Amino acid sequence: MKIAVLPGDGIGSEIVAEAVKVLKALDLSFEMEEAPVGGAAYEVSGHPLPDSTLNLAKAADAILFGAVGDWKYDTLDRPLRPEQAILGLRKHLGLFANFRPAICYEQLTHASSLKPELVAGLDILIIRELTGDIYFGQPRGRRVATDGHFPGAEEAFDTMRYSRPEIERIAHVAFQAARLRDKRVTSVDKANVLETFQLWKDVVTEVGQHYPDVALDHMYVDNAAMQLVRAPKRFDVIVTGNMFGDILSDEASMLTGSIGMLPSASLNAQNKGLYEPSHGSAPDIAGKGIANPLATILSAAMMLRFSLGQAAAADRIEQAVKTVLAQGFRTVDIAEAGAKTVGTAAMGDAVVAALTAQG
């Protein structure tokens, strides 16, 4: 089993190091190879996704990814910005299905910005389409060269598009995922205004007819954003496009106490996947050793389950995370007022200790 390890920028290297530590503590044999990505790759090679990194990712069975991005690259031409690395990996590897679970762990009910009774026991799954939508339409603007030169005009646009096959395959993913859960899918769209999302709604409805055992409802994205903070437990699986999924998954993350707790998996049709925390590179806290590594550690568990056929090892990691939370280990982002906190490495060590103690 070969894992490409791409730490990236900001807190990326700190959190990925802890996930690697946890993987090494399992009695499984992996080959892990590290490569630069994002701003870190731009610094050494002039490109955020150099061929060497892309080829390593393509050759591996799974990719463990940290985060990319830093404000200092905001003035670069768009194709050279760190974010293009993750977008490029998603596109080149066909990683169209993004799983972003939002689970509120018992001990963290009080870390949520919502009232404890609204989030206690929360377990929702956002399935975000990841290789289409306005993210991959045609851009035109100040940081995108057209015919080799920058237009510099005071107008910019991006095109939103989806095709029927793109919607069908993500809809199937959502219904199949729902079958393993509470058998309810909410499709989030903006069909009242956008043609792209009228097609989305129609196609999801058609696909839903193949899953009579799964309840389907439709919700406009503005209402979904509101319902997520009003009564989040009404949801089971949410399926939506790239742009809305980006926004709603950040929103959902805060229900769980901290975005530092949320893992994600991005899969292609062959179940090859890239695994990354849902949060970003957090340059403001980079290098301080305080970032929460649990989202990345939980992403490694998803990697074991979805791409490496090691479900038992994934269960063990998830159990170990519950154990350390029960033992009271808290990074600053999930600490109760006045609680004692641990840093990134100590949290990783605690997970390893909990794993080892499982015998």
Does 34 bind Mg ion (CB under 5 A)? Our answer is: no
Site stretch for Mg ion (CB under 5 A), options 71-79, 229-237, 239-247, 268-276? 239-247
Q: Interface residues for ligand IPM in 256-295 (CB under 6 A)? A: 280
Does 246 bind ligand IPM (CB under 6 A)? Our answer is: yes
* Minimum CB–partner distance for residue 249 and ligand IPM (Å): 6
Point out which residues pair with 215 in neighbouring strands: 184
* Minimum CB–partner distance for residue 246 and ligand IPM (Å): 5
Does 69 bind ligand IPM (CB under 6 A)? Our answer is: yes
Judge whether 131 and 137 are in contact, CB under 8 Å. no
CA distance 273 to 268: 6
Beta carbon nearer to ligand IPM, 48 or 232:
48
CB atoms within 10 A of CB 350: 20
Beta carbon nearer to ligand IPM, 158 or 182:
158
> From ligand IPM, Mg ion, none, which one binds at residue 86 (CB under 5 to 8 Å depending on kind)?
ligand IPM
Judge whether 254 and 224 are in contact, CB under 8 Å. no
* Residue 177 dihedral angles phi and psi, to the nearest 5°: -65, -40
- The amino acid that residue 27 corresponds to is D
Token pair 């994600």 is found at 264
Spatial CA neighbour of 239 closest among 264, 266, 217: 217
Does 37 bind ligand IPM (CB under 6 A)? Our answer is: no
Spatial CA neighbour of 325 closest among 166, 103, 151, 161: 103
The angle at the Cα of 83, spanning 78 to 84, to the nearest 5 degrees, equals 60
Catalytic residue of the set 70, 162, 190, 333? 190
Report the chain's terminal Cα–Cα distance, integer Å: 24
Which of residues 2, 45, 80, 83 is near ligand IPM by CB under 6 A? 83
Whether 349 is a known active-site residue: answer: no
Token code pair at residue 280? 């970003």
Does 158 bind ligand IPM (CB under 6 A)? Our answer is: no
Beta carbon nearer to ligand IPM, 139 or 343:
139
Which of residues 6, 22, 63, 86 is near ligand IPM by CB under 6 A? 86
Number of amino acids touching ligand IPM (CB under 6 A): 6
Does 246 bind Mg ion (CB under 5 A)? Our answer is: yes
Token pair 């090679």 is found at 45
Residue with CB nearest ligand IPM? 83
Beta carbon nearer to Mg ion, 166 or 276:
276
Catalytic residue of the set 74, 217, 222, 315? 222
Whether 250 is a known active-site residue: answer: yes
* Residue 216 dihedral angles phi and psi, to the nearest 5°: -120, 130
Whether 222 is a known active-site residue: answer: yes
Does 251 bind Mg ion (CB under 5 A)? Our answer is: no
* Minimum CB–partner distance for residue 39 and ligand IPM (Å): 12
CB atoms within 10 A of CB 4: 25
Does 61 bind ligand IPM (CB under 6 A)? Our answer is: no
The angle at the Cα of 91, spanning 85 to 94, to the nearest 5 degrees, equals 135
Token pair 């919607």 is found at 167
* Minimum CB–partner distance for residue 279 and Mg ion (Å): 8
Whether 190 is a known active-site residue: answer: yes
Whether 73 is a known active-site residue: answer: no
Judge whether 40 and 7 are in contact, CB under 8 Å. yes
Residue ranges in contact with Mg ion by CB under 5 A: 246
Q: Which stretches of the chain bind ligand IPM, using CB under 6 A?
A: 69, 83, 86-87, 246, 280
